[in-house]
Structure 1
Amino acid sequence: MSEGKKGPGRGGWLAIIVAVVIGLGLVRGNGHDGATSADPSPSAAAPSAASIPSAPSDPSDPSGGGAPSKPSGRYDPADYAAPVCQYAAEAGVDPQLLMAILYNESYKPHDPELERAWQRSKPDAAFGIANMHRAAFDDTKPGRPFASRQWEELPDDRNLAVQAAAWHLHDLAAQLPAHPSAPLTRNELMALGYNAGAGNMLAFARGVKIGSQAQSYLDRLRDNWAKSGEAVK
């Protein structure tokens, strides 16, 4: 999760899902659906790669490789290998790193209604499959191909979430010293920056000891590294 904001753990998300589903049921029962016809609300998980339509997140982007507008079933970051490779190339970052970030951030259900319901009670919550916070998104987008897009669109547009994460990693890389003191790779430092913020990333690059939360994120990144490489081959 970017900017060092941590959400509930896997067990906590189960309780949240139950509470939110009940709440959404009550809302619908009163005739106030959280989604509108102009704001599609896909379910938590993406379809298999074979069912992803070729519609780019940005209408002006002719390259295709779009995310499904109404994902259903199990969410697997590997289903987004095409946009990961596309936007990693666009931003000049390692697609394996970007995919590993998606795996690291897949600990919670990525359903637009659930994300928005949680954000109503926790305004600083992250949005989208890359779990990006508003400040990180707004700091990243100026001058970029998605400059006209809004943070609130992230839950519904998974391509946009991947693209924003790619450029955020690009900006983190630009801040790293040429020869960090820490015994970590540049990709590992960038992942820690995505999770804990640029300031902490630079401290880690100077050799400052990594805390328990950052170490847990790094451990998951290493666990996810091989399958991320396979996904983007």
Structure 2
Amino acid sequence: MSEEKKGSGRGRWLVIGVVVVAGLGLVRGNGHDGAASADPSPAAAAPSGASSGAAPSAGASAAPSKPPKPSGSYDPADYAAPVRRYAAEAGVNPQLLMAILYNEAYKPHDPELERAWQRSKPDASFGIANMHRAAFDDTKPGRPFASRQWEELPDDRDLAIQAAAWHLHDLAAQLPVRPGAPLTRDELAALGYNAGAGNMLAFARGVKIGSQAQSYLDRLRDNWSESGEAVK
């Protein structure tokens, strides 16, 4: 969900990435795991007194290793399975949900980078669906992820997709049965995702779309066919 100006977004994120990479050692020194590499293997993390060749005791089982944190570079199509699953759960069009991910892939989604940016811009969005805290907190009550926190979005891409699906569900539920604008319900829901429910309802009544919202809609249409292929 991006309410930031995206025309210069990619260049700004490249500059921020350089700054964050330079200071990433300091971030990790404050207790954060490395973002671009897997966690250490159980053998590497074992106490120094343990023999690497020792056999496990009878009945002992290896502790499950944590999955690696996601890196900043990704292809939304790789998440077709959770997109289909959570779109079905929320009752929204999976093609729309995938198109939202494509629209929101304009910036790197590295967890450490997102958190570093959020420290300087507290109202920044989190996760691959670029969801703001208020939208997440408004969406989650009564939902399968009600106990989860917005701060988890950078590290859990499935959660980001699930929350986006239900937010789209809630936006679509506010639309009139027959919008007065020459836009599809999916297009209006996408505009609501980008510009908020109030603007979405104004657009549904036929109010002229501003330049930022129009840019988002244009990208959605550009990504539409690719999104449909991804979720087949």
Give TM-score, length-normalised by structure 1.
0.82
Letter in 2 for 1:168: H
Q: Which runs of 4+ in 1 moved over 6 A?
A: none
Cα contact 2:70–2:111 (8 A) shared by 1: no
Letter in 1 for 2:12: G
Letter in 2 for 1:134: R
Cα contact 1:181–1:207 (8 A) shared by 2: yes
Summarize the Cα distance change of 1:24–1:160 in structure 2 as closer, same or farther, 3 Å threshold. Answer: same
Structure 1 segment 207-222 matched on structure 2, within 5 A: 207-222=206-221
* Number of the residue aligned with 1:42: 35
* Number of the residue aligned with 2:22: 22
In 1, distance between residues paired with 2:18 and 2:230? 32
CA drift of 1:212 comes to: 0.4
CA drift of 1:184 comes to: 0.4
Summarize the Cα distance change of 1:73–1:146 in structure 2 as closer, same or farther, 3 Å threshold. Answer: closer
* Number of the residue aligned with 1:10: 10
Q: Any gaps of 5 or more consecutive residues in structure 2?
A: 38-66
In 2, distance between residues paired with 1:201 and 1:213? 13
Larger radius of gyration: 2
Cα contact 1:118–1:125 (8 A) shared by 2: yes
CA drift of 1:195 comes to: 0.2
In 2, distance between residues paired with 1:133 and 1:70? 21
Alignment partner of 1:108 is 2:101: no
CA drift of 1:24 comes to: 1.5
* Number of the residue aligned with 1:49: none
> Number of paired residues?
202
In 2, distance between residues paired with 1:100 and 1:69? 26
Question: Is the deviation greater in 12-21 or in 204-213?
Answer: 12-21
* Number of the residue aligned with 1:63: none
* Number of the residue aligned with 2:88: 89
Summarize the Cα distance change of 1:101–1:34 in structure 2 as closer, same or farther, 3 Å threshold. Answer: farther
In 2, distance between residues paired with 1:173 and 1:134? 20
Letter in 1 for 2:32: A
Letter in 2 for 1:107: Y
- Please provide the CA RMSD for this pair: 1.8
Q: Any gaps of 5 or more consecutive residues in structure 1?
A: 45-67
In 2, distance between residues paired with 1:207 and 1:35? 47
* Number of the residue aligned with 2:229: 230
In 2, distance between residues paired with 1:203 and 1:81? 32
CA displacement 1:169-211 (0-9 Å, x = unmatched): 0000000000000000000000000000000000000000000
In 1, distance between residues paired with 2:149 and 2:10? 28
Cα contact 1:43–1:112 (8 A) shared by 2: no
In 2, distance between residues paired with 1:34 and 1:220? 38
Identity %: 84
CA displacement 1:22-51 (0-9 Å, x = unmatched): 1223555xxx24515xxxx5339xxxxxxx
